[in-house]
Chains A and B, each alone.
Chain A
């Protein structure tokens, strides 16, 4: 208890940039805020546009859609091709609005707002136009919602309910793409071309965001089809999961999530990805505490709308059947590790720590700031405390998000005052305590007595035993999504997060394990 008082969590919370729960869909979140004129009477006032009878100030250069986004009116304007994170195309004609004195309906995504413009987003003419667009989009849509994984979060479904015709005027046979009905574009993405509404968000994403130019639309009109640019190379970019996030229909689906769960069963909680030092903001989607997928949350300062595939699939580490979730102690005779209860384990490790004179504590850089401080508080007086990531100096792997350091908190742990571990630190120690709860690599501890604390898999333990490490105990602790804390990312932004799913094994939170190690009543 004394340690908590010594290092109050308050300062971490004060400086942190707490993730707020997103109020809306990622495809709608732009991060644009309302603008206000300079109150100084001599300054030139900002131009105003009237939307649905109310005047709104905007920044010169905004399109009508962007003004609506500033004032959270965007739910009145449906869209397929427009996405706040991509360049404007203006192809889907769904976002048309009526502008007074304009001869025709205007696409709100590409029409710049003008001073004194009067816009109606729900006039009779507009609704009739949207109804017509929906009718055309649904002519060839297979309407296989029972099979489609997008059902429940599909924009085509939502807009059909809101604007669409009740019955189709199209009586002819629907178009079917024989070769692209279900086609694996890569090992991560499956394409179903029949569902596609040709918004080309995916093409613009690979052109302008990842700049890999993987996807392209071939042919025209009725036969327009999405394919990979080079069949020999295929779809190879590292942000393929994003394609499924913004695809408004179920044309692009993620193999990892495909047929796993219907989306309306999912509980959604915000968290921070611990896959690399970028710390992308994510939403953990789980059903009955079983994580089904990660989805990025918009954060302009960190990850924008995107997230890499490596981080997106990193939840498998914590759902692994081989993860150790109860404390293990070696048998006194055979040395085989077998599971035990926490009381026995606590007594044995406590005695082991007390008897050792030279202890090295290695903190993986995937510990949260709070945990690192707590470890320092517990062990600074009686042991050497070092941090270890195993990835070396961090550098960006591409122009977007991916980083070479695969641990989330290297900066934060270093800022608390722990030095990096050197290879020579291990020599001459009685006991090494390794605390590693994520993707930090194991330090080299061959031939040492080691207590392992954190998240380990059975394979890792076997590999350690094979490399002549004398494991004294394995004490499982909670993974990032199961605990609360804060990470400082590679740009120095501290982000705090709460627990998203409940742990289902016997692992304990790190403060309790540390108290057991040093023999404190907690």
Chain B
């Protein structure tokens, strides 16, 4: 493919340089005064100050628990079935009778419940499919991790105390 050279010669004002410096400085000055005097800031002091997100914001997952701290999940695999990103992995088992005051309603339980956050697309289908309102998405958006293994939420982590969406 041939190269086409287009020359864009500088105008005299550009060659003189000083007009454009002044133009740029004026923008800086305007922002400086509007921020300092009129307090019109667009950035926030992040860790100290939090932005208020929508009530419907879909953030980190959690599994709701009942008053005995038993997970509401019965390992029905509906979230795993519906998940478009295939990020949920469940292994089911039978719950011990003596640890199961709810009888047949919680006879089955997840032995392991892993969500791979690196695959998750936060569509919220799992929350919608869940017949037990067990898996939910919180409004927590702080999910940064320092290695890939930490990005896989296991059952113990999913059962943490966290508020759901409004």
**Is chain B found bound to chain A in the same assembly?**
yes
Contact B94 A258 (CB under 8 A): yes
Contact B103 A146 (CB under 8 A): no
Given contacts A262-B77, A264-B81, contact A146 B131 (CB under 8 A): yes
Contact of B104 among A145, A194, A259, A265 (CB under 8 A): A194
B66 nearest CB across to chain A (Å): 15
B3 nearest CB across to chain A (Å): 53
Expressed in whole angstroms, the Cα–Cα distance for A151 and B103 within the complex equals 19
Expressed in whole angstroms, the Cα–Cα distance for A145 and B132 within the complex equals 11
Would you call B140 an interface residue if the criterion is a C-beta within 8 Å of the partner chain's C-beta atoms? no
Residues of chain B within 8 A of A181, CB atoms compared: 103-104
Contact of A142 among B76, B93, B104 (CB under 8 A): B104
Expressed in whole angstroms, the Cα–Cα distance for A181 and B131 within the complex equals 21
B85 nearest CB across to chain A (Å): 17
B88 nearest CB across to chain A (Å): 13
The count of chain B contact residues (Cβ–Cβ below 8 Å) is 17
Chain B interface SS verdict (over half): mixed
Would you call A292 an interface residue if the criterion is a C-beta within 8 Å of the partner chain's C-beta atoms? no
Contact B75 A192 (CB under 8 A): no
Would you call B123 an interface residue if the criterion is a C-beta within 8 Å of the partner chain's C-beta atoms? no
Would you call A397 an interface residue if the criterion is a C-beta within 8 Å of the partner chain's C-beta atoms? no
Contact A147 B93 (CB under 8 A): no
B16 nearest CB across to chain A (Å): 72
Residues of chain B within 8 A of A260, CB atoms compared: 92
The count of chain A contact residues (Cβ–Cβ below 8 Å) is 16
Residues of chain A within 8 A of B132, CB atoms compared: 146
Would you call A144 an interface residue if the criterion is a C-beta within 8 Å of the partner chain's C-beta atoms? yes
A-facing mask of B95-113, CB < 8 A → 1, else 0?
0000000011111100000
Would you call A182 an interface residue if the criterion is a C-beta within 8 Å of the partner chain's C-beta atoms? yes
B20 nearest CB across to chain A (Å): 64
Which residue of A181, A182, A194, A265 has the most chain B CB atoms within 10 A of its CB atom? A182
B131 nearest CB across to chain A (Å): 5
Residues of chain A within 8 A of B76, CB atoms compared: 145-147, 151, 262
Contact B105 A147 (CB under 8 A): yes
Inter-chain pairs besides A145-B131, A147-B74, A259-B108, 19 sampled, C-beta below 8 Å: A144-B104, A144-B105, A146-B76, A146-B78, A147-B76, A147-B105, A147-B106, A181-B104, A182-B104, A192-B104, A194-B104, A258-B94, A259-B75, A259-B93, A259-B94, A260-B92, A262-B77, A264-B81, A265-B81
The 4 closest A-B CB pairs, nearest first, are A146-B76, A262-B77, A259-B92, A147-B108
Query: What are 11 A-to-B residue pairs whose CB atoms are below 8 Å?
Result: A144-B104, A144-B105, A146-B78, A147-B74, A147-B105, A181-B103, A182-B104, A182-B107, A259-B92, A259-B94, A265-B81
